[in-house]
Amino acid sequence: MRAVSKKRKTENDIYREKRKTFLAKHPFCQVGRCGRKAAEVHHTHGRSHLLNDERYWKALCRGHHERTHYDPEWARSRGLLPPKGGWLSSAADDES
């Protein structure tokens, strides 16, 4: 039994390559004037349907990525999360 579907495995493989390229293009954390090395990709509108959509990616250092997930108000104030009640709504609007 597979842990993930063939479709998801393909999406994950694409993501790994795109992530590597994205972090090479954006080597520093995109939060203000942080200046630390970007180590992670944050998905500003979730990952389930937008895993490989770079329009909703931010390159973040580990510290800012952790803060984004434990302090959503801070993250929203910096454009790292959509406004309350707007999860995925901005992405859906862009696609129409």
CA pair distance 35, 61, nearest whole angstrom: 9
66: domain range?
6-95
The answer to the question of residue 81 being in a domain is yes
Asked, for residue 1, whether it belongs to a domain, the answer is no
28 located within any domain: yes
Q: Residue 84: its pLDDT value, please?
A: 83
Note whether residue 22 is domain-resident: yes
**Torsion of the alpha carbons at 15, 19, 22 and 26, rounded to the nearest 10:** 150
pLDDT interval class at 1 (50, 70, 90): low
- The number of folded domains in the chain is 1
Write down the pLDDT at residue 88.
Answer: 60
Q: What is the pTM for the complete model shown?
A: 0.82
- What's the burial of 86, exposed, middle or buried (CB within 10 Å: 0-12/13-18/19+)? middle
Extended strands (E) in 44-87 = 57-60
| Collapsed DSSP state (helix, strand, coil) of residue 74 | helix
| Per-residue pLDDT tens over the stretch 46-96 | 887 889 999 999 999 999 999 999 999 999 999 999 888 776 644 444 443
